[in-house]
Amino acid sequence: MRVGSRGSKLALKQCEYVLERLREVSKEDFIIKVIKTKGDEDARPLYDIGSKGIFEKEIDLALLNNEIDLAVHSMKDLPSELPNGLTIAAVPKREEPNDVLISKGLLLNELKSGSIIGTSSLRRMAEIRYLRKDLNIKAIRGNVETRINKMLNGDYDAIILAEAGLKRLGIDNYITQRFDIKEFVPAPCQGSLAVVARDDDKRLITILRSIEDANSRLESIAERSLLAEMNAGCKFPLGAVARVIGNKIMLYSSISSLDASKRIYAEMYDDKYNADILGKKVAKELISKGAIEIAKEWRYE
């Protein structure tokens, strides 16, 4: 079985994690095939690139062309609608979705006014502006290790990253501060992996289903439903996180205005099997509070 993946150290770690689970339940041989994507080759900040699916389009095309048999993606890189012919065949157990601060020992509220904080995410930019308007935000690209080295070398006073990636790489010792998910709201599906296959490959899908984590799937359904309803992307700094709690599912989402003067949020609960409906309900609540008007501010920045 040929498995498509990006070539970064984190992407390969994520791929190996999935393959370890698969080898526990299947005697198939799996070979990783590295595929370069537009997002790997374009060094601009993500919000300047402007197109959806920049980290997965080439991989999914290879899947459709039968050049690979399955693909492992960071769920948050996937557009809300997959190409016809493909399906998310498995969602393994989700890693923690929190964002974290990496600095030389200082918490966010301890950084000096004017400190340079690195991120290329509009959502993280909005969260920082809301919490600390006096910090300077500077775009940063590169893999996780590159970003950390840029901070250690003094190019930045602090950077914001996803806890999940640091844990998967085994370098979460760099974390200075772990943000609460409602204080610094994660990207939808942050910490989740998606194993994608052709929807007519029933035998493979049956194998992949055996590494599925039901609650992680439901959380991703709620968050992706919200994204689809809001038509959100890299130019829409929407934070959202779902949590299955017993038989219920909670979905929390927020968005801040460009000048950080306004922040709207919505939080709702429902039966966990109504995850898709919950995503749509939270989207409608945000829209009723002015989310579309706030989104326009960012899209025309």
154's tokens: 């003094």
Beta carbons within 10 angstroms of residue 81's beta carbon: 11
Angle at 89 between CA 83 and CA 95, to 5 degrees: 105
User: 66 CB contacts (<8 Å, ≥6 apart)?
Assistant: none
Query: Which residue is it, tokens 């150290």?
Result: 9
Q: Of 60, 69, 77, 99, which residue is the catalytic one?
A: 77
Helix/strand/coil percent split, the chain, to 5: 40, 20, 40
Active-site annotation holds for 200: no
107's tokens: 């918490």
Name beta bridge partners: 74.
193
Q: How far apart are CA 265 and CA 182, in angstroms?
A: 10
What per-residue string of b and e applies to 240-270 under the rule 16 or more CB within 10 Å gives b? bbbbbeeeebbbbbbbbbbebeebbbbeeeb
Secondary structure letter of residue 109 according to DSSP: G
Contact assessment for residue 260 and residue 236, using Cβ atoms and an 8 Å cutoff: no
By annotation, the residues acting in catalysis are: 77
